[in-house]
Amino acid sequence: MNRFSYHRADTIDDAVRALAADPAAKIIAGGTNLVDLMKYDVEKPSTLIDVTRIEALKGISETEDGGLRIGALVPNTTVAYDERVASRYPLLASAILAGATPQLRNAATTGGNLNQRTRCYYFNDVATPCNKREPGSGCSAIGGLNRIHAILGASEHCIATHPSDMCVGLAALGADVHVVGPDGERVIPFADYHRLPRDAPQRDNTLRLGEIVVSIVLPPDAASHGVHHSYLKLRDRLSYAFALVSVATALTMEGGTISSARIALGGVAHKPWRRQEAETALAGRAADEHSFAVAADLLLDGAQGHEHNAFKVELARRAVIRALGQAAAGTPQSQTDKRIA
């Protein structure tokens, strides 16, 4: 591990100033991702800016228009078991509980989960070329081991996926990311927060120099998705494993007809994957297997597997159909076995 300095920030402005002054500095929150990467020499921050004492980044509160604001420092466990989240945004609670382990969810924060790095084997192994870790060095996953990699939105420079479960739920719910930087506050719609790799895979998101995430805001209209939702996560083991494919979906229903739909996929792209066409195609349609299959095909249009992950294309199609069926029937995939009494 490299030597680094430590700065405890007391306020958001203090953290932003320290981050803007040194492009090699990094924010540390729960540390469950960053510290591992520092031990592997993947991340070599000059300074760690500890934001864990900043009160303004804590807490969950109602917004004036009836949405919910979740501070960047709120632990994943606290979000998942918050009564307002569990009753009005159960899709988000379910997505969070599908991730990691109880101990990790206790330490992991909302801002850290959003900004966690890819789990690509080569990104984590400094002995191998990786454009995300070292721009211009090449992509070892293309032509290498690529079981966990992207089938949508990849580029010739990088086929990594974003590993978060929480973010798939937030993408489906249409959350906003509130950030503060040297030029003040701005709001980034969730769909625009993470980016596709294109020719700059070293950039995971659209944060500018010196900006930090201060909160996530859930929109009020998502509350109507309380009953008809599902987070279905398919992985190699039932616990302590990242998604091969996951589906977050929330529907509004009138009898057996879908009024509106939201669907996001995880484990398949450099960001949670949504396509408006797939959601529009479900509006006004009967909640049956044919409608679900049409939506799945639109969502996965252009999907392309690599040597070891071509199975994901059909797996994702079947997962979308199954998750939509669960949501329509009001029988969401259960994550209750993740709760510790």
Ligand X SMILES: Cc1cc2nc3c(=O)[nH]c(=O)nc-3n(C[C@H](O)[C@H](O)[C@H](O)COP(=O)(O)OP(=O)(O)OC[C@H]3O[C@@H](n4cnc5c(N)ncnc54)[C@H](O)[C@@H]3O)c2cc1C
Residues in contact with ligand SF4 by the rule CB under 6 A: 118, 120, 122-123, 130-132, 139-141, 158-160, 201
Of the pair 78, 291, the CB lying nearest ligand X is at 78
Closer Cβ to ligand X, 150 or 212, answer by number: 212
List the single partner that 104 binds among ligand SF4, ligand X, none, CB under 5 to 8 Å by kind.
Answer: ligand X
Q: Which does 159 bind (CB under 5 to 8 A by kind): ligand SF4, ligand X, none?
A: ligand SF4
Q: How far is the CB of 140 from ligand SF4 (least distance, A)?
A: 5
For the bound state, the minimum distance from the C-beta of residue 199 to ligand SF4, rounded and expressed in Å, comes to 11
Those residues with Cβ within 8 angstroms of residue 325's Cβ, 6 or more apart along the chain or in another chain: 289, 292
* Residue closer to ligand X (CB basis): 116 or 128: 116
Smallest separation (angstroms) from ligand X to the CB of 103: 9
Closest residue to ligand X, based on beta-carbon distance: 112
Q: Which does 54 bind (CB under 5 to 8 A by kind): ligand SF4, ligand X, none?
A: none
Of ligand SF4, ligand X, none, which one sits near residue 180, judging by CB under 5 to 8 A according to partner kind? Answer: none
Torsion angle of C-alpha atoms 277, 278, 280, 286, degrees rounded to 10: 150
Out of ligand SF4, ligand X, none, what residue 120 binds, judged by CB under 5 to 8 A for its kind, is ligand SF4
CB-wise, 52 or 205, nearer to ligand SF4?
Answer: 205
Residue 111 contact partner, candidates ligand SF4, ligand X, none, CB within 5 to 8 A by sort of partner: ligand X
Instruction: Return the closest-CA partner of residue 10 out of 59, 52, 46.
Output: 52
| Least gap, CB of 32 to ligand X (angstroms) | 3
CB of 78 or CB of 113, closer to ligand X: 113
Give the one entry of ligand X, ligand SF4, none that residue 163 binds, where binding means its C-beta sits below a cut-off of 5 to 8 angstroms depending on kind.
Answer: ligand X
- Least distance between ligand SF4 and beta carbon 114 (Å): 18
The rounded Cα 90 to chain-centroid distance in angstroms is 16
* 130, 121 contact by CB (below 8 A): no
**Smallest distance, Å, CB 173 to ligand SF4?**
27
Q: Which residues contact 101 (CB under 8 A, 6 or more apart)?
A: 239, 240
Binding site for ligand X (CB under 6 A): 26-34, 72, 99-100, 104, 107-109, 111-113, 115-116, 163-166, 212-213, 240, 242
Please state the closest distance from residue 261 (CB atom) to ligand SF4, in A. Answer: 31
